Amino acid sequence: MPKVSAVMALYNTPYHYLEETVKSILSQTLSDFELIIVDDASTIEYRRFFERFKDERIKYFKLEENSGPGHARNEGIKKAVGEFIAITDSDDIYMSQKFELQVKFLNENPDISLVGCTFRFSNREKLSFVPLSNKDIKTFMLFNSPLTNPTIMFRREEFIKKNLFYSEDINFAEDYELWIDAMFAGVKMVNLEEFLMIYTRRPSQLSKTKLQKQIEILKKLYKKMFLLLGFEASEEELDLHYDVYTEKFKKIKNSEQISGWFDKIIEYNKKQKIFDENCIIDKKIAVLDKYHRIKNRLFKVKIGQKNLCLSKKLKIY
């Protein structure tokens, strides 16, 4: 039985991206793994492509109908036999020590069941920010996914035992929903500080229609999270929560709205203790501070030959 089962959902990825990804996986310093590829009914023919590698660790399966990435990943997880599941995308690059370092961490920390890592986008040199500790990950979870899906490795047995699988009815943020479910199921999660993956950014244009759909899905996940916390958020509260996350402070009437909303989350959290209360308070303070700074931001105007700095209260500086 392999130590790791790397699970890849595949759909019409161009060969040149896929080849670099597979090479980076097969070059891992930890060689005790299987690579399970679930082809979600691609129109591109891949079987001969994978046969070229002549590597028995590659196991290729093709679905008859296209059902989305969540379903493809779930099929791969169900076929896996490794102690740990490593989620891989079909166009990203994995540093050679990724599997080794994540397995080492999970072996040394039996109370942690999921581990991600630091990464960078292919079109940037700067590493992307990721929260590292379990409590910081949970705080970030209030607003968006604190874990980048193709960086993840988790304990297969625990996720199956707790019936934790990807949602199959959405094609955006299905991983975020899984992490929310895992959090409420008591799964502890961390991100390693080590840079272990390059996330490929392909040229694309996000339409306004698609963006609006993604916002709707995000708000549905907020609604689910707050229901699990113990209360049903109104549409106005969900809009406020999204505006706080995206820092669209122009839509927020006053700071009391922000303060009251955070206080409500803190109050319901006292019962279940899902989130670290001090972290939520720190987040509240940071949001309020930014809200006030933006609301009172100075702007320049020219009157005659003089440049004046005005605050929004029209006080001259």
251 and 118, same domain (yes or no) = no
Note the pLDDT of residue 303: 59
Please check the confidence at residue 313 and state whether its pLDDT lies above 90: no
Which of the residue ranges 8-17, 187-196, 208-217 would you say has the lowest mean pLDDT? 208-217
* pLDDT tens-digit readout, 299-309: 455 556 665 54
* C-alpha R_g of the chain: 23
148 and 65, same domain (yes or no) = yes
Whether 303 is in a domain gets the answer: no
Mean pLDDT of 69-81: 97
Note the pLDDT of residue 182: 98
Beta strands in the chain (DSSP E): 4-10, 33-39, 58-62, 84-88, 93-94, 114-121, 153-155, 189-199, 299-303, 306-310
Which of the residue ranges 49-53, 63-67, 247-251 would you say has the lowest mean pLDDT? 247-251
Quote the tokens at residue 48.
């001969």
For residues 69 and 93, the answer to whether their CB atoms sit within 8 Å is: no
Note the pLDDT of residue 305: 64
**Would the pTM of this model clear 0.85, i.e. be above it?**
yes
Closest to 287 measured CA to CA, from 314, 248, 313, 316? 248
Note the pLDDT of residue 235: 97
8 and 117, same domain (yes or no) = yes
* pLDDT tens-digit readout, 124-162: 889 999 999 999 999 999 999 999 999 999 999 999 999
Please check the confidence at residue 191 and state whether its pLDDT lies above 80: yes
Whether 224 is in a domain gets the answer: yes
15 and 42, same domain (yes or no) = yes
212 and 195, same domain (yes or no) = no
Whether 223 is in a domain gets the answer: yes
Please check the confidence at residue 206 and state whether its pLDDT lies above 80: no
Greater pLDDT, 110 or 311 = 110
CATH of the domain at 94: 3.90.550.10
- Model confidence band, residue 315 (pLDDT cutoffs 50, 70, 90): very low
229 and 192, same domain (yes or no) = no
161 and 235, same domain (yes or no) = no
Quote the tokens at residue 36.
């399970």
Listed in sequence order, the residues at least 6 apart from 139 whose beta carbon sits closer than 8 Å to its beta carbon are 131, 275, 276, 279, 280, 283
